[in-house]
Amino acid sequence: MHVKKYLFIISIISFHWVHAQENNIQPDSWKWLIPSQELKIKLGKDTLTTPPISNVATKEWWKAFGYQELNILTKLALEENNHIKIGETGVEASKARVKYAKSFLYPSVSFNPSLMRQEYSANRPLPFDVAAQRITNTTYTLPLDLSYEVDITGKINNQAKASSYEWQASQASQNALELSVTAEVARNFTRLLTLDAEKGILERTIQSRQENLEIVETRYKAGLVNEIDYQRAKTELSSVMVQLKNNQLQRNDIELTLSNLCGQPPSTFSIESTNLKYLAPNITYLLPPASEITRPDIQADEYRVASYQNVLKSAKKDLYPSLYFNGSLGLLSGETEDIFDSKSRNWLIGATLSVPVFEGGRRRAQLSINEHQLQGSENRLEQKKLMANQEVEQALSNLSQVNEQLTIQQEFLSAAQKAAELSSQRYRKGLVTYLEVVDAERIVLEAERLQAQLVGQQLINTINLFEATGGELQ
């Protein structure tokens, strides 16, 4: 009975899956689409809100975050990043290949002057029974030679189109590279903001712990508390100071990463300490399949599919005969003084029809190679579209979870701060030991740092979402 039930459920699922495949059903909305909401998060003495957005260009998505420092770093990366420069040379090379491919649509004309001096053997065969003589002959030639393959099947035109699509693919790949670099700059800048926010929290905590240590030391010398409380106060102060040093170490690593992304020498590159000012921007994102169209990496694969289609057409037409025209027009003489004489004119013209008869299956094999290349390219395109949708859904899911965490974390932090304040008051009245104060302040420190980390994670998830949708603003 259970087996029949499971088989029935599987058959229903299979039917819907096959129906969706046959009708090529595309999603018209994201699974984790986030409703527009205005968050206000308190971080230290500041209240963070979404940045004011005005006059943001469609492709300059990073400006939506509201950080001028990020705008400067991104501009520097787009101008100086070496990977982008390498990509630009590749685009120019692809552009030149288009010109090269199109050149075969036109005749080839060349000027080939030559001088040839030859001595004939006295023992050469002659058609008549006479004695041959040694003869020296000089030939001067000034020809214009022409060769032209007539594109009767459109083979050469398909090759030119394939090169043109490859050029467009390289341009789209360059856009994808620029999007990747700018996103990586934005992510690292956000990590820098988070570390600077944590640095401020740690410095305030160190100041508070130093004040606590002075109070505990005074009470210890007065005999009001034991040495354990005094040592705990010193331990907690040292612990936060170590965390501050680790914070600076992480900041140095990110700064070095940004110097590489911006194409700058690490020894002269530095970023001033800043802080978190805004939450992630509230943006309406493109819905599928519009996001697929805007993603430059998907555009690149679409162009490559079109290129392989034209390569395949050219390979099919290569199985048919080819027609060639050859000609030459110029001057030919045995003496230099007669080379420009009217009687020295010399010309020839001819046509050749090349019919492939037997080449060991070479052209058929090339055709099979091109067919498989096209199939592989189409499969890669479909996989890229699936991955694009997965990346968008993943970013939306992460962003949704972080927004919920921020709301809950804010309530937790507020409660922890009140508890720490009460513990400190109780300790000064001698009602509790310093251990309760230490625990309460440690919870506050962890909560404040987690709050800053969640804001940073919200920004990073939004950056990931921009990258996943192609960096387009709607």
**Could you tell me how many helices (H) and strands (E) the chain has, helices first?**
9, 7
* Total count of domains within the chain: 1
Predicted confidence at residue 14, as pLDDT, reads: 47
Phi-psi region of 360 (alpha: psi -120 to 50; beta: other; left: phi over 0): left
On the CB side of 172, CA atoms within 13 Å amount to 20
Residue 75 lies in a domain: yes
151, 145, 150, 143: which is closest to 109 by C-alpha? 145
Predicted confidence at residue 182, as pLDDT, reads: 96
Residue 148 CB-density burial (10 A; 0-12 exposed, 13-18 middle, 19+ buried): middle
Predicted confidence at residue 461, as pLDDT, reads: 92
Predicted confidence at residue 162, as pLDDT, reads: 96
**Please, what's the b/e burial string for 407-437 (b: 16 or more CB within 10 A of its CB; e: otherwise)?**
eebbeebeebbebbeebbeebeeeebebebb
Domain with residue 41: its CATH number is: 1.20.1600.10
Predicted confidence at residue 46, as pLDDT, reads: 78
Inter-residue contact 264 to 223 (CB < 8 Å): no
84, 281, 261, 295: which is closest to 189 by C-alpha? 261
Predicted confidence at residue 96, as pLDDT, reads: 96
Predicted confidence at residue 12, as pLDDT, reads: 45
Residue 335 lies in a domain: no
Residue 222 lies in a domain: yes
Look up the pTM and report it: 0.84
Residue 73 lies in a domain: yes
Residue 169 lies in a domain: no
Predicted confidence at residue 225, as pLDDT, reads: 77
Residue 47 lies in a domain: yes
- CA dist., res. 304 & res. 308, Å (int): 6
Q: Is the peptide bond before 266 cis (omega within 30 degrees of 0)?
A: no
Terminal CA-CA length for the chain: 53
Question: What range defines the domain where residue 275 resides?
Answer: 27-106+175-294+386-468
Longest dimension (CA), the chain: 141
pLDDT tens, N- to C-terminus, the chain (474 residues): 444 444 444 454 444 444 444 444 455 566 656 655 667 787 777 787 888 765 565 678 898 888 999 999 999 999 999 999 999 999 999 999 999 999 999 999 999 999 998 888 878 787 777 777 888 888 999 999 999 999 999 999 999 999 999 999 999 999 999 999 999 999 999 999 999 999 998 998 888 888 888 888 887 888 877 888 888 888 888 988 999 999 999 999 999 999 999 999 999 999 998 888 888 887 766 666 655 667 899 999 999 999 999 999 999 999 999 999 999 999 988 888 888 888 889 999 999 999 999 989 999 999 999 999 999 999 999 999 989 888 888 988 898 898 888 888 888 888 888 888 888 888 777 777 777 877 888 888 888 889 899 999 999 999 998 898 887 755
Residue 161 lies in a domain: no
Residue 5 lies in a domain: no
Predicted confidence at residue 127, as pLDDT, reads: 75
